[in-house]
């Protein structure tokens, strides 16, 4: 492949997106560069504090419970008071709660603050995703979501390796680093991101009335949420089951950091070219294949006995992640009404939050009671079930063009009109940007 071809591909991938989206991308990247708590909480509690795998799983589950509580709340806030205020409140609260976690030692207090961290950090996700949908035209959204995911994993790849070595010196330093980086994100939002929530109009009264009940009665969307939970349960094991299993097998935090960093680096290298490959392919098949591949990728971990083999298994489920993440997010946006994006994204985010609540306790229990091999076998089964579920559900989903048409007719506003309503897009129509 020539340099000219690579340059042309990069230009086509990065051009044509609003400037505000680049600032959102920057905020995402900075946030992930400082990520520490979610990745190293289990190791902190088991290796540094000497608690059992079950207690570590319980605390991480409380972190997930906080996310469950705030997912819907954050979505409602994003729709009612706006994306920008929700982001500022959530990121500031996250910074202070993470800093507090660095100084407490009582096990009950650790559990309580972990809950607060989960609640604060998860509240921003529906607002971020809704803002992306607001400011990016429908034809560019899959590309934009992929770039966003690329930023997440670029930061994750760098922070995983660095934080692994930081953890061997001081977990407190890692917590404080994350708090500081999160405050930087809040500053970027405050200075550079205007509100993007579409303006409400009388003719959109039908959409304006979207509530949580509307989301819950949307059976097609809720089926997607349920399957998303199963896939999220599997992917959660990279942050919970894998570090605990490696720790019990005698590997160090740096070993885990090196193995899991492969995930981030592969996404950094492959996300953009893979996105160009899948951008116009059938999302139904992509979700079926990626779900099954994720399950079997983690299933292969049962045969790992060295850092190198662990890294190879990470490669397998990372490929599934690269395909699944933007495809799943694109499906959610297609199924969401314009003025209900925050609530719909909140419900979707809650599927991951519930998974982060259930997965740590389940994985800790299985590892303590039966051994890590049983956990990896369970992941293979869950991934297979999720893939089969998508195969059945997607038969009832119309083609993409039909989906968009149905939304336009049934809701009165589709994503195209939403972009016209956005004050950001209206004011910056000629500006170019790229999104995280």
Q: How far apart are CA 147 and CA 164, in angstroms?
A: 25
Q: How far apart are CA 228 and CA 238, in angstroms?
A: 16
- In 283-407 the beta strands, taken as DSSP E runs, fall at none
Q: Which of 38-42, 47-51, 224-228, 410-414 has the lowest mean pLDDT?
A: 410-414
* pLDDT at residue 153 is higher than 80: no
Enumerate the β-bridge partners of residue 433. Answer: 17
238, two tokens:
């990279």
* pLDDT at residue 347 is higher than 60: yes
- Note the pLDDT of residue 204: 46
Span 84-112, pLDDT tens digits: 899 899 889 989 988 998 888 888 888 89
Q: What is the DSSP string of 168-233?
A: HH-HHHHHHHHHHHHHHHHHHHHHH----PPPP-GGGHHHHT--HHHHHH-HHHHHHHHHHHHHHH
Q: What are phi and psi of 268, to 5 degrees?
A: -60, -40
* pLDDT at residue 31 is higher than 70: yes
- Note the pLDDT of residue 430: 30
Which is more confident, 66 or 381? 381
Q: State mean pLDDT over 19-40.
A: 79
- Note the pLDDT of residue 400: 45
**Residue 112 burial (C-beta neighbours within 10 Å; 0-12, 13-18, 19+):** middle
96 closest CA partner among 126, 117, 115, 122: 117
Q: How far apart are CA 239 and CA 248, in angstroms?
A: 15
Q: How far apart are CA 218 and CA 220, in angstroms?
A: 6
Q: What are phi and psi of 17, to 5 degrees?
A: -110, 150
- Note the pLDDT of residue 390: 87
- Note the pLDDT of residue 397: 58
Q: Which of 82-86, 341-345, 400-404 has the lowest mean pLDDT?
A: 400-404
- Note the pLDDT of residue 421: 32
- Note the pLDDT of residue 232: 92
Q: State mean pLDDT over 206-214.
A: 64
Confidence of residue 37 (pLDDT cuts 50, 70, 90): confident
- Note the pLDDT of residue 3: 59
* pLDDT at residue 208 is higher than 60: no
- Note the pLDDT of residue 185: 87
312, two tokens:
């190879």
- Note the pLDDT of residue 415: 34
300 closest CA partner among 315, 287, 288, 285: 315
Confidence of residue 366 (pLDDT cuts 50, 70, 90): confident
Q: State mean pLDDT over 195-201.
A: 71
Q: State mean pLDDT over 399-422.
A: 37
Q: State mean pLDDT over 380-390.
A: 92
* pLDDT at residue 260 is higher than 80: yes
- In 158-275 the beta strands, taken as DSSP E runs, fall at none
* pLDDT at residue 226 is higher than 60: yes
* pLDDT at residue 292 is higher than 90: yes
- Note the pLDDT of residue 422: 31
Fold designation for 16-198+215-427: Growth Hormone; Chain: A; (1.20.1250)
- Based on its alpha-carbon atoms, the radius of gyration of the chain, rounded to whole angstroms, reads 21
- Using CA atoms, how far residue 111 sits from 56, 115, 177, 197, in Å, is 9, 6, 20, 35
Span 10-19, pLDDT tens digits: 666 677 788 8
CB 290 within 8 A of CB 320: yes
Q: State mean pLDDT over 366-373.
A: 86
Which is more confident, 88 or 174? 88
Which is more confident, 432 or 323? 323
- Using CA atoms, how far residue 385 sits from 28, 132, 191, 227, in Å, is 32, 31, 45, 9
Query: Residue 145, Cβ neighbours under 10 Å: how many?
Result: 25
């Amino acid at each position: 492949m020539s340099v000219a071809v690579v340059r042309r591909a990069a230009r086509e991938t990065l051009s044509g997106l609003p400037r505000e989206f680049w600032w959102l991308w920057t905020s995402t990247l900075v946030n992930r560069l400082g990520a520490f708590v979610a990745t190293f909480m289990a190791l902190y509690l088991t290796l540094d504090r000497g608690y059992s795998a079950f207690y570590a799983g319980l605390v991480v589950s409380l972190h997930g419970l906080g996310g469950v509580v705030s997912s819907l709340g954050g979505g409602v806030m994003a729709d009612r008071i706006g994306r920008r205020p929700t982001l500022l409140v959530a990121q500031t609260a996250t910074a202070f709660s993470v800093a507090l976690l660095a100084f407490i030692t009582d096990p009950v207090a650790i559990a309580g603050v972990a809950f607060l961290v989960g609640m604060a950090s998860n509240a921003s996700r529906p607002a971020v995703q809704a803002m992306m949908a607001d400011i990016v035209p429908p034809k560019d959204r899959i590309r934009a979501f992929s770039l966003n995911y690329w930023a997440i994993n670029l930061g994750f790849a760098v922070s995983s390796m660095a934080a692994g070595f930081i953890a061997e010196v001081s977990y407190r330093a890692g917590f404080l680093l994350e708090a500081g980086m999160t405050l930087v994100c809040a500053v970027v939002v405050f200075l550079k991101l205007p509100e993007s929530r579409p303006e409400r109009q009388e003719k959109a009264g039908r959409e304006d009335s979207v509530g949580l009940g509307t989301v819950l009665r949307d059976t097609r969307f809720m089926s997607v949420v349920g399957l998303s939970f199963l896939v999220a349960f599997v992917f959660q094991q990279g942050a919970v089951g894998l570090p605990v299993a490696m720790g019990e097998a005698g590997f160090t935090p740096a070993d885990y950091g090196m193995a899991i960093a492969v995930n981030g680096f592969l996404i950094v290298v492959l996300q953009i070219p893979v996105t160009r490959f899948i951008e116009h392919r059938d999302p139904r098949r992509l979700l079926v294949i990626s779900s099954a591949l994720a399950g079997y990728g983690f299933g292969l971990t049962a045969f790992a006995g060295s850092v190198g083999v662990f890294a190879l298994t990470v490669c397998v489920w990372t490929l599934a992640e690269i395909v699944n993440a933007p495809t799943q997010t694109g499906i959610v946006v297609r199924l969401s009404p314009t003025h209900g994006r925050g609530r719909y994204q909140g419900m979707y985010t809650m599927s991951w939050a519930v998974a982060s609540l259930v997965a740590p306790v389940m994985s800790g229990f299985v590892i303590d009671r039966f051994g890590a091999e049983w956990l990896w076998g369970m992941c293979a089964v869950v991934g297979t079930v999720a893939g089969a579920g998508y195969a059945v559900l997607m038969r009832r989903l119309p083609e993409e063009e039909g989906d968009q048409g149905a939304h336009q007719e049934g809701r009165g506003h589709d994503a195209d009109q939403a972009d016209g309503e956005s004050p950001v897009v209206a004011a910056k129509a000629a500006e170019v940007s790229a999104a995280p």
